[in-house]
Amino acid sequence: MTNAPASISRMPNPGQFVPELSDISAALFRATGNHSVPRTTISLVHLRAGQIVHNTYLTILNTAFLRKAGETEERITAVSSWQDAPYFTPAERAALALVEATLQPAPRGQERVPDELYAEVAEHYDEKALATLTIAIGQINFFIALAVIGKPQPVASLADQQWD
């Protein structure tokens, strides 16, 4: 049995060419790190986003964040089927439903985020937390573009070298 060759990132690290990228990234992490939404919830949302767009880099990275935070393998594994998994709080379920609605096409003629879903999320998150959760979804969307276009190497930590 032979090992598959390591894949190489499709493009060089964009931060080499646009140094402001690190400022943007740091600002987004600061904005979502205001403690109004648990970091675990944000990582669950980011993991689900990586799964939805079928991106290995984002999936491995956010799985590692959750493991480092002490999350169980059952919860991490069940993110892909969260709707029928018994491991998530109502607030986490609302956040996962919101990221799915944001990233997946709505049925024809319907809104991606209908009023009912917004109301459900608002039951679990106050105005600051809802704004933070919305920014966290925008944050992962920003990184989705970099990840699916640039195809960085999968890593378990942002400290690891992901662009080659």
For 96, the enclosing helix (H) or strand (E) is: helix 90-103
Which two three-digit tokens encode residue 26?
């740091």
Which two three-digit tokens encode residue 55?
């991106």
- pLDDT of the residue at 153: 83
Q: Which CATH class is domain 18-150?
A: mainly alpha
In this structure, are residues 101 and 141 in contact, taking their beta carbons and an 8 Å threshold? no
Tens of pLDDT, residue by residue over 33-85, are 999 999 999 999 999 999 999 999 999 999 999 999 999 999 999 999 999 99
- Measured CA to CA, the distance from residue 159 to residue 102 in angstroms comes to 29
How confident is the model over 141-164, as a mean pLDDT? 81
Nearest by Cα to 71 from 98, 35, 37, 39: 39
Higher per-residue pLDDT: 16 or 84: 84
- pLDDT of the residue at 65: 93
List the chain domain ranges. Answer: 18-150
End-to-end CA distance of the chain: 26
The confidence band for 4, taking pLDDT boundaries of 50, 70 and 90, is low
Higher per-residue pLDDT: 11 or 90: 90
Tens of pLDDT, residue by residue over 18-30, are 999 999 999 999 9
Tens of pLDDT, residue by residue over 99-142, are 999 999 988 889 999 999 999 999 999 999 999 999 999 999 99
- pLDDT of the residue at 12: 87
Q: Report the phi/psi class of residue 59: left, alpha or beta, with left for phi > 0 and alpha for psi in -120 to 50.
A: alpha
What is the reported pTM?
0.90
